Amino acid sequence: MARDFYEVLGVDRKANQDEIKKAYRQLARESHPDRNPDDPEAEERFKEIQQANDALSDPEKRKQYDAGGMFSGLGGAPGGGGFPGGGFSGDVGDIFSNLFGRGRGGGTEPRAAAGRDLETEVNLSFDQAVHGTQITVTVPTTGPCPTCGGTGAEPGTSPRVCPRCEGRGIDSQSQGFFSISQPCPECGGAGQLIDDPCATCGGQGITRQTKRYRVNIPAGVHDGSRIRLAGKGEAGIRGGPQGDLYVTTRVAPSTVFKQRPDGNLEVELPVTLPEAIQGATVEVPTIDGSKRIRIPPGTRHGSTQRLRGEGPPRTSGKGRGDIYYRVALDVPGELNDEQREAVEGLAKAFNGSDPREDLLKQAARSDGSGKVDD
Ligand SMILES: [Zn+2]
Ligand SMILES: [Zn+2]
């Protein structure tokens, strides 16, 4: 349930507008998320304070609130208020266009600039990367100043249109045939002047803030995949669009599954000599458990068997990748008597066949000497 707005600001129901303003400014400073980087509640509290101030600082809205009118629907949806400035991480672009639209003069809008993009990284386990997950990222960013709401002017005052450039932010001077344009020296290109700059942001209207976002990590991301969160970058300037946030995934390697550049997985699969010679059905690990695959007779070391559709989902969204099992002949270091006897028998049976015969012949040909050196 949303708390009573008077309670949030810690003021009496009969408090005058000055007392409300004072209480709000004090609280907004104390609970600013910038000042409480380790307190996850700070942002929520901050929103609440903004909301309360929005409702109570405007005598009209306050009357309605007191009458239980337009704010009655807010109970179940804290932070979802439909009045401007209510949402701290709300649409900053809108807040800016409202503010700067008001101060506009001379019919020309001051130039807007897009906010900077931000970059961050998240560390994932192999399992999280393969199956997807939700992760919270904390990013240092910028947002509208909580004290002045983004105007850059002390609360109670407002910026005025620059008289020199009439709000255009550009100073044009004719010199003969040429008209030379430069940023207005009076307002520095902002198009407006702030006589009484806000103490919190120094008149910038923007402060450094720490924000947390829940990021949906889709299944099948790789080490180095980038996820774009549109509009979660730094605040735009003078109504410009917000930048984007790019999240790069760092995936801890698995001891079993290697991520191949093509998005499929590879597993080194030990196979005994008899299995490779005679063929066998063997159990192999998959990302969801295990499966059985057929090793055909005469399987060579280093060859691969593929299980289609058993890999992680493709990031293109089209189905799932494959898992390749690369056969590694398992050569035992120690043998028991029975095995030794069997290997001796095998050696005898293979006596006279030299698998290197072709290799040596080919090497001799390419050498051109026609002789094989020892
Ligand atoms: Zn400010
Ligand atoms: Zn100017």
Tell how far the Cα of 84 is from the centroid of ligand 2, in angstroms.
28
Ligand nearest to the CA of 146: 1
Tell how far the Cα of 64 is from the centroid of ligand 1, in angstroms.
28
**Which range among 22-36, 70-84, 281-295, 321-335 shows the weakest confidence by mean pLDDT?**
70-84
Same fold, 1-88 and 92-159+194-252: no
Please state, in angstroms and rounded to a whole number, the distance separating the CA atoms of residues 196 and 206. Answer: 16
Share of the chain above pLDDT 90, in %: 36
Condensed to tens digits (0 to 9), the pLDDT of residues 129-154 reads 999 999 999 998 888 888 888 888 89
248 pLDDT tier (thresholds 50, 70, 90) = very high
- With beta carbons less than 8 A apart as the criterion, state whether 167 and 103 touch: yes
pLDDT above 50: residue 84 = no
What per-residue confidence (pLDDT) applies to 108?
40
DSSP 8-state assignment for residue 204: S
Outline where DSSP puts E strands in 256-338: 258-259, 265-271, 280-286, 289-295, 304-307, 323-329
What per-residue confidence (pLDDT) applies to 217?
94
Tell how far the Cα of 52 is from the centroid of ligand 2, in angstroms.
35
Mean residue pLDDT across the chain: 81
What is the three-state SS of the chain?
Answer: CCCCHHHHHCCCCCCCHHHHHHHHHHHHHHCCCCCCCCCCCHHHHHHHHHHHHHHHCCHHHHHHHHCCCCCHHHCCCCCCCCCCCCCCCCCHHHHHHHHHHHCCECCECCCCECCCCEEEEEEECHHHHHHCEEEEEEEEEEEECCCCCCCCECCCCCCEECCCCCCCCEEEEEECCEEEEEECCCCCCCCEECCCECCCCCCCCEEEEEEEEEEEECCCCCCCCEEEECCCCCCCECCCCCCCEEEEEEECCCCCCEECCCCCEEEEEEECHHHHHHCEEEEEEECCEEEEEEECCCCCCCCEEEECCCCCECCCCCCECCEEEEEEECCCCCCCHHHHHHHHHHHHHHCCCCCCHHHHHHHHHHHCCCCCCC
Strand order in the sheet with 226-229: 118-124, 245-251, 226-229
Please state, in angstroms and rounded to a whole number, the distance separating the CA atoms of residues 64 and 87. Answer: 20
CA 358, distance to chain mean position in Å, is 56
Collapse the DSSP code of 66 into the 3-class scheme (helix H, G, I; strand E, B; otherwise coil) and give the result: helix
Please state, in angstroms and rounded to a whole number, the distance separating the CA atoms of residues 212 and 62. Answer: 31
70 pLDDT tier (thresholds 50, 70, 90) = very low
pLDDT above 80: residue 256 = yes
User: What is the maximum span of the chain, computed from C-alpha positions, in angstroms?
Assistant: 110
Region 92-159+194-252: CATH code: 2.60.260.20
Region 1-88: CATH code: 1.10.287.110
Mean per-residue pLDDT for 213-228?
92
Tell how far the Cα of 267 is from the centroid of ligand 2, in angstroms.
66
Q: Ion ligand 1 — residues with CB under 5 Å?
A: 145, 147-148, 198, 200-201
Of 194, 186, 197, give the one whose Cα is nearest residue 164. Answer: 186
Ligand nearest to the CA of 199: 1
Domain layout of the chain by residue ranges? 1-88, 92-159+194-252, 258-366
Whole-structure pTM value:
0.53
Condensed to tens digits (0 to 9), the pLDDT of residues 1-54 reads 567 888 888 888 888 888 888 888 888 878 777 777 777 777 778 888 888 888
Tell how far the Cα of 148 is from the centroid of ligand 1, in angstroms.
4
What per-residue confidence (pLDDT) applies to 275?
96
- Strands 323-329 and 265-271 turn out to be parallel
What per-residue confidence (pLDDT) applies to 282?
97
Phi, psi of 363 (to 5 degrees): -65, -40
Tell how far the Cα of 144 is from the centroid of ligand 1, in angstroms.
8
Tell how far the Cα of 338 is from the centroid of ligand 1, in angstroms.
85
pLDDT above 50: residue 101 = no
What per-residue confidence (pLDDT) applies to 179?
73
Tell the CATH superfamily of the 258-366 domain.
Urease metallochaperone UreE, N-terminal domain (2.60.260.20)
pLDDT above 90: residue 342 = yes
Residues in Cβ contact with 245 at an 8 Å cutoff, skipping those fewer than 6 apart: 117, 118, 119, 120, 137, 139, 213, 228, 229, 232, 233
